[in-house]
Structure 1
Amino acid sequence: MAERGAHLTTAATAEDNRPSIFEVLAQDSLMSAVKPALQHAVKILATSNPARYGVLWRRFDEIYAILDLLLQHHFLSRTSASFSENFYGLKRVGTDSTRPAHLGLLRKQHWRCLLLLALLPYLHRKLEKVFARQRDEDDFSIRLPQSFTQKLYRAFLAAYPYVCMAWDGWVFCQQLLYVFGKARTHSPLLWLAGVKLSYLTAHDIRTLDLKPSGPTFNPSQSIAEKCQRLISTAVGGVAVSLSTSLSIGVFFLQFLEWWYSSENQSTKSLTSLPTPPPPLHLHSEETSQTHNKICPLCRKVRTNDTALATSGYVFCYKCIYVYVKANHRCPLTGYPSELQHLIKIYTPDG
């Protein structure tokens, strides 16, 4: 049966130099596998030394977005392709299909592609986190006073799953049309950017190999032009270093992403964290019982006792909920924590 359907992915390739559906899906999955692996590496650093590396975990999305922006800008400018597309020998073609790859895309197409490659995934990730926090609030039955803006915000979150479902349906239909040769792109993002994917030609490969990597200075250039060229070269050097390291370790990162997936880590998410030292009890027996009931955040007698699973400390539910939601870490140990790590403590008398 497979050989009878092979023409669906190869017939159009000979006509318009169009890659097969397997190649375009493979390059799509490349960058999606790199981020979780890097995120897990940052989590290990933040867990081992929260004071030094905790900010990397808390600001991972912003740091990754900036690095991804530099990386994609470099490849779009030098190869007319994203990092993953260039890794598979593909390029982006706009209205001018004869434009060499080493010249990059036209300015309007370049910035449109850059925003869709780097900015849109960042916004999607932020919306996913906001939606998850809102779902946690609903699970914990928290109803805070809401203004009109907050009501609109909740209405948007209620419609967000349906927007994601419509987007996934569009992506599936676009890929199906691409398989049967009825669409020139397999992704709505490429369609919105006004480009399509194509193979690198022999001329493109020669020009990319012969393109000088270092800066060439002209004595007649002004100081501003030289500084601009130096900055561009430095940014390009950072992008090249990132791309080289990713190219070397891409399969290793994919292995890490699989190894530390939710299926493999479901039983090791909390036991992998080091056990924090127990608090010191230096008070007398008369005050020890009262002291043990003090919340470390508000310094008052705890109400609605809640333990944080990542550290074992007990707080008032409202105190620890607000703190973890804002800071995503334990207030005493600094261990990375989320709302799902809150465990309410129920006593027989209470």
Structure 2
Amino acid sequence: MAERGAHITTAPPDDGRPSIFEVVAQESLMVAVRPALHHIVKVLAESNPARFGPLWRWFDELYTLLDLLLQQHYLSWAGASFSENFYGLKRVAVGKSLGLRGKEYWRSLALLVLLPYLRVKLEKFINRMREEEDYSIQNPTSFRKRCYKAVLASYPFVKLSWEGCFLIYQLRYILWNTSHHSPLLRIAGVQLTRLTLEDLQAMDAATEKMASAQSTLSVGAILKKALGGVSVTVSSGLSLGVFFLQFLEWWYSAENQETVKSLSTLPAPTAPIHFDLVTYSPLLPKLKTVCPLCRKVRVNDTALGTSGYVFCYRCAYYYVKNHQRCPVSGYPTELQHLIRLYTPDG
């Protein structure tokens, strides 16, 4: 049984077809990079909301831009994505001996950069709809509410079908029934193979040619050189820090955080500073019961876990949904940080 498993999951030495372990490892690399960078930006935004707050709010777009520069550089230079090149793999157009050309190149770039961005946005949209469903933000009889319910009911089955399609492709790849371990590679019209000595020599020659071509001082050459420099800097930094990023992913995983919390107790947070009475509200006797946003007596008291300030639920919900920060302190805040307060007489 073990010999059969080894035969299935490994390829002959003279075969350029990568093993299932190699293709899964290169996919998990980029999956580990995003949450690690996301946590770094979150720490920076919490330390200085005024300076680094926009990085937190526009993280998805900024990460996609960096990913575009990174993947474009590696597809043009090595004929592979960053993670594929890191594991010594390359993309080859199906039925062609040359590297990526024309439509295969643009399909690969779109599926590597645009598809993950759309998937992240879809996940956030679904999470927002679930929160609105849980807290009954929308009118239950409205057409929009019925559409939300239909989307929420069908999304788990769509996601199951999506993940199941990838699983089927991986099983077929293990059993040598297909040359694609992912349906995205089939859509792009490419397949993965191992890098050869000739490929490495061609990459070195391309690097030298690019350096000599960029010695001119034209505007196009300067711009191309600047973009190439940014791509090389990002790729080099990721190559050097890939193991550190994977360590961060493990360190901030849910399982490890539970262990850390069980071994240490968090200090009690300090009380928030008092509001400025000149700009806050003239109703000084009712100051403790007034919402800082609507300036009325609070309804459905809700605290923000990041700052401790209390608002009306609707005021806090829509403000955090639109601005992703506390309206008083400016700390980065998400909808999951809303804490509804219930009084014994409420």
Match of 2:213, SS state, is coil
Deviation at 1:38, TM superposition (A): 0.6
Q: Distance in 1 between matches of 2:50 and 2:340?
A: 27
1:249 corresponds to which of 210, 224, 241: 241
1:178-217 correspondence runs (5 A): 178-211=173-206, 212=208, 213-216=210-213
1:335-350 correspondence runs (5 A): 335-350=331-346
Query: What do residues 36-78 of structure 1 show as CA deviations (whole Å, max 9, x unaligned)?
Result: 1111000000000011101111111110011001100110011
8 Å Cα contact 1:215/1:230 also seen in 2: no
Amino acid at match of 1:260: Y
RMSD of Structure 2 on Structure 1 (CA) = 2.7
Query: What do residues 119-162 of structure 1 show as CA deviations (whole Å, max 9, x unaligned)?
Result: 00000000000111111111112224887567546533432221
TM-score (norm 1): 0.88
8 Å Cα contact 2:72/2:109 also seen in 1: yes
Deviation at 1:301, TM superposition (A): 1.4
8 Å Cα contact 1:33/1:257 also seen in 2: yes
Match of 1:114, SS state, is helix
Amino acid at match of 2:107: R
Q: Distance in 2 between matches of 1:88 and 1:8?
A: 20
Amino acid at match of 2:331: Y
1:91 aligns with 2:86: no
Q: Distance in 2 between matches of 1:81 and 1:275?
A: 51
1:233 — aligned with what?
225
1:322 aligns with 2:321: no
Query: What do residues 322-345 of structure 1 show as CA deviations (whole Å, max 9, x unaligned)?
Result: 111111211111112222221222
Amino acid at match of 1:261: S
Q: Distance in 1 between matches of 2:227 and 2:71?
A: 11
1:304 — aligned with what?
300
1:313 — aligned with what?
309
Change (3 A) 1:348 1:168: same
Deviation at 1:289, TM superposition (A): 4.3
Amino acid at match of 2:158: V
2:71 — aligned with what?
72
Deviates more, 1:76-85 or 1:298-307: 298-307
Q: Distance in 2 between matches of 1:238 and 1:52?
A: 22
Deviation at 1:231, TM superposition (A): 2.1
Q: Distance in 1 between matches of 2:212 and 2:152?
A: 49
1:90-239 correspondence runs (5 A): 90-95=89-94, 97-99=96-98, 104-144=99-139, 151-152=146-147, 154-211=149-206, 212=208, 213-216=210-213, 226-239=218-231
Amino acid at match of 2:116: P
Q: Distance in 2 between matches of 1:216 and 1:274?
A: 58
**Gaps spanning 5+ residues in structure 1: where?**
none
Deviation at 1:179, TM superposition (A): 0.4
Change (3 A) 1:305 1:251: same
Change (3 A) 1:282 1:97: closer
Q: Distance in 1 between matches of 2:269 and 2:222?
A: 46
Q: Distance in 1 between matches of 2:271 and 2:143?
A: 43
Amino acid at match of 1:63: L
Give the % identical residues.
57
Amino acid at match of 1:8: I
Q: Distance in 2 between matches of 1:107 and 1:189?
A: 17
Amino acid at match of 2:184: L
8 Å Cα contact 1:9/1:21 also seen in 2: yes
Runs of 4+ residues over 6 Å off in structure 1: none
Amino acid at match of 1:319: C
Match of 2:10, SS state, is helix
1:22 aligns with 2:21: yes
8 Å Cα contact 1:92/1:196 also seen in 2: yes
8 Å Cα contact 1:273/1:310 also seen in 2: no
1:241-280 correspondence runs (5 A): 241-265=233-257, 275=270, 277-280=272-275
Amino acid at match of 1:310: T
Change (3 A) 1:218 1:38: closer
Q: Distance in 1 between matches of 2:214 and 2:69?
A: 23
Deviation at 1:281, TM superposition (A): 7.9
Q: Distance in 2 between matches of 1:15 and 1:152?
A: 55
1:4 — aligned with what?
4
Deviation at 1:98, TM superposition (A): 2.5
**Gaps spanning 5+ residues in structure 2: where?**
none
Change (3 A) 1:4 1:274: same
